[in-house]
Structure formats: structure tokens, C-alpha cells
Structure 1
Amino acid sequence: MKKSVWLSMVGISLLALGACGKEKEKETTTSKISESTIVSSEKTKETTESKEKKADVGNWQEINDQLKKTTEAKKLTVQHESKEAIVNEKDGVKVAINGYEYVEINDFSKDLRITFADQVEKGGVILVSTTLKNDSDKSVYTSAGYTISVTGFSSAISRNKSLLGTDVVDDLVKVKYEIKPKEEFTGYVALPVKPEAMEKIAENGEAMFELPGMYSKPESFKKEDAIIEPKESKISLSGEGAEKAEAQGAFYEDKATVENLGEKKMLIDQKDGKQAEFEGAKVTLDGYQITEFTPNEDEAPRYKNFDTGVIVLTAKVTIKNDGKETLNLGQTSATLTIGNKEKLMHENMLEINNDEELPTGKEGSKFIVFAMDKESYEKLYHDKEFKLDVSLYDQKFVRLTDNDDLAFTFTNK
């Protein structure tokens, strides 16, 4: 899925966000939003939770009225809404999605023809209630980009201020994206969804949402200046999507699960707990899952060499770094040897890849993924011994371990 470079911002630990999907049409009247943004100096208690329920999203009726007025739409229908918050915070700095709505507008202004794929009969809008707060004692900075990626739709869906006339990002622009100590910005952003993307949402019911990052220096989006790094979170955009997210909650967070690349069927869900150590780094094999994976229509061409179907083995490893140097957790990899003969390399296309650091004294987890042909697994591999050989890397992408330094064996018998 393509991302807008300047909008590639933050998400959180991979989460499946459930929400109600009741479709309803709202009778709207034209009324003016009193303010798009609230700036507050009130200090709030810091929380480490990544998800908060029943968040204060503001007045949806009011924002719907404004959207209908600005777009001159004759009809506005709410397709899905969520009041569960997505929160990412660190060191007194917080970015939050308080909630969101996915609405359909019909027969709108000709000025929006280009925005909605050269037509004005039908379009989607994702309305987002968001808060950016600085409870630290120094100013922080954000580019305040808001982007959504829909499975099967090639382009990123980005914030468009013309849908509301003014939004929270406009207020941040006025202060050059600076959030001063004890200051908070709360408001809305709107993202236009073209009919083609609406069709993909109808098929899959989910999307990946990118939240803004927070940085210690103005106009610098470098990793070393990030207080909160860019990450993504999955959101549901239909009742079916919410049900799917709930059903997928049991699956490990590889890319197939997190980015909704297809359907999984659980074959084996095995807890483990074996540990190994390398130069102060304690590595635990928490467990592994073996699933039958059916890629969706857009992903299917990538698996054309799997003639009889796809079997995915996802291993979860947790690393406690008590060594002397920072590790590159995101680059942690492994090989899988089956029956002392067949050796498989991990599948990058099914892993969540990043360059997340793991400093001394910290702990983190990585999901490592392998793909097998279904017939080979059922006839040759199923009852063999598996050996997972984990490799650790430093911040210069240099491999630190040799073969069998961090090896774990298991069997499905």
C-alpha cells in the first residue's frame, strides 16, 4: 500500500479496533461549528494505555451539519462510527484519535468533482476527532498529517481541509506546528474517500490509520528527534469489519492480520516459553501459530507459486536487552529448519518491518513469519521437528549472532 511521504506519521502497537457498525441516516440542519480547536493549559494525568473506551469525541451532529453545509450535499448518511480512542503517548506527550465516523455524502458541490474522482453523485468522508497534547515542560512539534490506507486501493487517503472549511491542522499551521508546554489542541479533520475506495471498504470493512508524530525540534521528522515515532493502527469502517477485527484478535500480529491481506484459519496455536541468551540479550519464544492463509484478490498474485494454498507459521519472540549495546528490534529475523533438511527464510512481505530500537534495559517483541505450500506442509512438514534460529542485529544492521546461538526446537506431535 502506498503512503504519502510527508504524511507518513504515527500509529501505535498493532491493535485491532472494534466498533459498532450500525448504519443510520441523520437529519441535518445547517449550523456553524463554534470552534474547530480547543487550546487548554489544564494538565491531565498521564496514562500508558493505548486504548481508551468512550472517549470524548465532541458533537458529531454539529460536525455533520458543517460537513453537509460546506460540501452542499443534499444527503449525508453515517455508515459507521467509533467512540473508542486510539492513544499513543510517551514522556508527557500524547497523540490521540478520540473517535471517528465514516459517512457517505450524495449530490454535492461541483467544486469537489476532482476530489471525488470526477463526479459529484457519491463520495465518502472519514471524520476524525483528534487531540494533540503536550504535558511536558518543553515545546514539541508535529506535522499533523492524517492519512488512511484502504486494502485494495492503491492511493493513500489524506486530510482535506476544504471539506470542513477549517480544521485542527489549520490551527496548528498558525503556530508553525508548535505545541507549547501544557498546551492541547483538540478538533476535527476530514478525509475524502473516492467511490473506488468506498467499494474496497465495502469488501473489507477495514483500513490502516496513520497518526501524527511528535518531535523535539521544529521541521525535523528524523528518527533521532522523535518523541513519538510514526506508527499505524487498524480501524474498522463497517460492522463486518468490526466483527472481523474481533475474530482476528486471537491471531498474531503479522502483516496478514494487521493489514487485512486475506483470511486466516487457525490450525495450531501453541504457547512455548523456551528461553536462550546471547551476550546479555534474553530471548523467549513465547509461542507460534500455524494458519491456513487465503490472500485476498489484490494480494493473490504474490502467492502464485503456492500451487495448493498457503500455510503461514508466525513465531512470537520477546527480547529483554540486558546487554551493553542497543539492538535493532525491527530487524530481528530467523530461519526455520524442518526435519534437519528443509530450511526456510523468513518472509519480509508478511512481517511488520521497522527500525525500532531496543536500548539496554528494555524489552520488546517481534513476530517472525514463514510461508509454506499447503500440500508440502500437510504431507512432508506437519509432523517433523522445527528449529527456529533467531538472529539479532545492532543499529548498523550488523548481525551479531551466529547459527544456533539462539535456536529453539518444537514439534506439532
Structure 2
Amino acid sequence: MNKKLMILFGAMLSVFIISGCGADNKEASTEEKTAASEEKAASENDSENKNEETGSEEPAAVDSESGDFAELIDYMKTTTDAEEATVFYESTDPQTHDMDGVTASLDQYSIVGLKDFHTDYSIPFNDETNGAVVLTQYTITNDTDEDVHYMPSMYMSIPGATQQYNNYREILPEEGQLPVKLNPDNKYLIKAGESVTGTYTYPLGESELYGAIAAGEGTIEAPTAQTDPDDISTAIGRKGSFIIDFRSVAAEESESADTENTSKESSTDINEGFYEDATTLENMGEKAMLDQKEGIGESQELGDTTVTLEGYQFTEFTPNMEEAPRFEDFNGVVLLTVNFALDNKTDENIGLGSISSTLTVDDSWWQLNEGMLTNYRISEVIESGESGELLQVYVLDKEEYDKLWKDKSFEIEIGPIRNEDAKDISKGKEAVFQLK
């Protein structure tokens, strides 16, 4: 973070944007309440003592499920005894991830600066009393015909950070928080046809926020649902991710200081249009299209399974800081992602993670597919009588691709087809497809 940007950010912290909200929703006084249990009375006494220690007002009651972030931000400001609360950036464009009928949605989020809050709250803010909160709202919807269980472990990662960030319960009403609504006591249950909406907050100290702005974005993992909460093999669909746009904080700082600003593409659209291999789904970096072909439709039979080559994409891949070490031996990276359709006419389920393939270039150089970049779980199958997608990914050195390979022939040999126990069900047969 350059010095100018730090000065701009400091200036933003000194500007008060959020006005007090919810003044008409005061809690009833103790005299107005009916007799409570001794446990509840003790809890209220503890809360009053804490307010006296921090010198803060008791926060006004808010409807934490209304989606009104203004009230929630005012609640955070009052609870932490912050001098100011400033919205640095907000997004109301939902990001959704479907998991075979169970949908996780990041409905909205705000990056909120908190200035000079009480030291009692400093630990999750990297022991600092200036910082920011990424305030989010999620909705998990179960559109299947059976009950599911969803553990809301929505961890946020930032390239270059030494830790992952998780929900901080102490600054918002607990009853509206997603990890409170879906918890071990109710076995994270979401009944068929129902949905659960809740908040989630990620605290960042001031220095961590500078790092996030420099990195440009954060990635929040959307875990899978399960039909059995105690059996990971019953997971539904694949995990996904959501993007928090920190680069726009820097952009708005520049605008507020009337400096030159170059518009940038929204981070949520960076990998739009690319095959959903692990690099796309888990937001491992940025892709740029080099060559692609769709609608090929060439089919071959492997036993009782029809394998169809649907298309392929050559992309230049720039890994983010977190993923860069795994590609450090390459002089730039080109990914070849190949899209197959499998029509399973066997009596068994096909295990997607157990199918391998080989890429041969110019009849002289070959490599196996990179299974870690498709990231199929053991439970991911194409059921008997059904059709589905199979992606295969290969990693190429960009310097070699540009100088030696890009105009040569590319051939894929795929198979045999294997069931969910990795047993060969196509009698060793393999199919060969010519890409170009």
C-alpha cells in the first residue's frame, strides 16, 4: 500500500457517513418487563456492567433479519463504542452458487470502517482499535424434496494474509446470525422447501485492511450441504466461492480525493464464461482466453457409456498470491480445460474423480490430467441412466506453449470409465479425440 493511498484511507476514516438509526426501537426498561428467570436477569446484569465499563450506550433493538444494513451498522458502532462508522464500499448484487438443488447466496455485503473503538474488541481486529468489518448477509435455500444439513463455515481468505477470517459474534445481535440459526443443536437442519437467512461478520484490523486493498479481493468459501450431517460422503453438489471486492475501496478513495481513476472490471465477472474447473470455482486467479472451440459434438462409445467431446478452452492463467507457490516452476501458465459429456447407460454410477486422461502434443510430448484442478470429490457421480459433464484440466508452461506447442496437434486419450469404487467398467477401453 503506497503512502498516498494510506493517507486517503486515513482521511476516509475521519469522515462520518452513517447516521444513527433505530431510535424508535428502544428496548423496554426492566420495570416494563415481566418477571424473568434468574439466569436471564444475571445475563442482563452482565450486559449492563459491560456497557458501564466501555462507556458505550446500550444498542437500540434492531430487526437483524430485515436486510437493513444501516441499522446493523449503527448497532455495531454503538456496541463497540466506535467514534465513527463509515461505509467504504457496498454491493447489493447477489452472488449465488447452486449445489444440485441447494443454493447458497451472498445477498449483499458492505465493507464498513470503524474508527477508534473500545479496546475490549481489539483482539479479533489484529489488536488494533481502527479497522473494518465485512458485513454480509447469506441465504441458504433447500429446493430439494428432502431435508438437508448445512454447516455455515463461510471462511474468508485474502491473498497474502496469514489467517482465514470467520464470523465475529460479539458485534451484532446473535439471533440474526447465520451460525446461530444453523448450529450443532439443530444439526444445521434446513427442511425441504425452506430457506434460512442470516448475517456474518469478518473483522479486519487497519493493517489487514491495507493488505486486503492491495490484494484486491477476498474469497469466501461456500461449503456443501449434506443429507447426513455426520457423513461427508453424503455431500450435495460441489463447494463454491463468493468474491469480496476490496479493489473498489481503493478506487472510491481515489475518487473521493479527486485523483485520476481508471475503471476496473468487477471481480465477480473476472472468470465469467470459463469452464468451471477448480481454478474458476475456487477463484484461484484470473483467466484470459487464448483459444476455444464449442459445439464439437464428437462421440465415441466406451463400453455402455457414450463419451462426447463438447469443447475446449486454452486460457492464460495468473494465479493469485495464495495459489502462486504451486505454479512457481512455470514460466507463465496456460490451462487447457476440456469439456466432455458422459451418457451413462451402464447399471452402475460413474465416479467422476476416478477417470483419468492423457494429453499428447505433436506426437512427442505428453502429460496426465491434473486431478487437483478438477477437484471432484469421491461422492461426485453420474448415476446409472443419467448424463453429466466431465472436465479434464492440463497445465502447460506458457513460454513453451507460445514457442513450441500452440500451433501443433493436441490429442486427448480418455478412459477407461470407472464406477464410484474406481473399478474399470469399460473393460480397459479408451477413447481418443483430436482437438486441433
Question: TM-score, length-normalised on structure 1?
Answer: 0.75
Matches within 5 A, 1:5-404: 26-29=17-20, 31=22, 32-37=60-65, 58-78=67-87, 79-86=89-96, 88=98, 95-122=104-131, 124-132=132-140, 140-166=148-174, 167-173=177-183, 175=186, 177-179=188-190, 184-195=195-206, 197-211=208-222, 213-217=224-228, 219-224=229-234, 226=235, 228-229=236-237, 231-238=239-246, 239=248, 243-271=266-294, 272-306=296-330, 308-355=331-378, 356-391=380-415, 392-400=417-425
Q: How many residues are treated as equivalent by the alignment? A: 364
Write the distance in 1 (CA, Å) between the matches of 2:302 and 2:150: 38
Percent of pairs identical after alignment?
29
2:126–2:204 Cα contact (<8 Å) kept:
no
Counterpart residue identity of residue 250, structure 1: G
Q: Deviations over 1:96-150 (max 9, x none)?
A: 433222323222221222211121222x322222334567786554433332233
Unaligned runs of 5+ in 2: 1-12, 23-59, 249-262
- 1:267 Cα shift? 1.8
Give the direction of change, closer, same or farther, for the CA distance of 1:138–1:368 in structure 2 (3 Å limit). Answer: closer
Determine which structure has greater relative contact order: mean sequence separation of CA pairs < 8 Å that are 6+ residues apart, divided by chain length: 1
Structure 1 residues 236, 273: CA separation in 2 closer, same or farther (over 3 Å shift)? farther
More strand by share: 1
Cα deviation code 1:69-89 (max 9, x no counterpart): 222222223223233252546
- Whole-Å Cα distance in 2 between the matches of residues 350 and 178 of structure 1? 31
CA RMSD of aligned residues (A): 3.3
What is the DSSP-based 3-state SS (H/G/I as helix, E as strand, rest coil) of the residue aligned with 2:421?
Answer: coil
User: 1:279-330: per-residue Cα shift (whole Å, max 9, x none)?
Assistant: 3322222211222333344444433332x43222221222232221111123
C-alpha spacing 1:398/1:233, structure 2 compared with 1 (3 Å): same
Change over 3 Å in CA distance of 1:345–1:86 after alignment to 2: same
Greater CA drift, 173-182 or 80-89: 173-182
Q: Greater share of helix residues, 1 or 2?
A: 2
Other-structure match for 2:33: none
- The residue matched to 2:180 in structure 1 has which SS? helix
Runs of 4+ in 1 over 6 A off after TM superposition: 135-138
Alpha-carbon separation, structure 2, partners of 1:327 and 1:208: 31
Unaligned runs of 5+ in 1: 1-22, 38-56
CA 1:352 to 1:204, structure 2 compared with 1: closer, same or farther past 3 Å? farther
CA–CA distance in structure 2, aligned partners of residues 295 and 212 of structure 1: 22
